[in-house]
Amino acid sequence: MKDLKEVLKTANELLFVAKELRDYASYAEMVGGVSVNRPQIREWCDKILEIYKKLPENENFDHVFKIQEKDDGFIEWTPGDRPVSADTIVTVKVQGNIPRAPVKAGEWPQICWRHRPLHDPKSIWNIVAYRVEK
């Protein structure tokens, strides 16, 4: 890791993945889909939840390492919950470099803000930068 910004970005991504894993494992356990290593899976899911509850604001740390605004007004984005209200007009840059017109931030599904895995063909819609329009 090169600097604190990269470390925090990686920690935020790890937090996101851990929360997703916890949710999927908890659901699988509820519907009886976990038959092997059930106590260990429950133990680790509980540990993830314990650590998560210790975090300030119980969410993500995008505000800690948000990259400075570029000359063109875009702010680089890493996976996380939408950083602006749903009614805020934004222009976004997506991973697939497909030009997009300004729209309300809420018109972009949360999965585009949170990011799909890179092997997913729809990851081209992952938001990598955004600019609030005045």
Q: What is the pLDDT along the chain (134 residues), one digit of tens a residue?
A: 355 666 666 677 777 777 777 766 766 666 667 667 777 777 777 777 677 666 655 445 554 444 445 667 888 888 888 888 899 999 999 988 888 899 999 999 988 898 888 888 888 999 999 999 97
Provide the whole-model pTM.
0.50
Give the residue from 47, 41, 10, 14 showing the smallest Cα distance to 28.
41
Segments making up each domain of the chain, as ranges: 4-62, 68-132
Residue count (the chain): 134
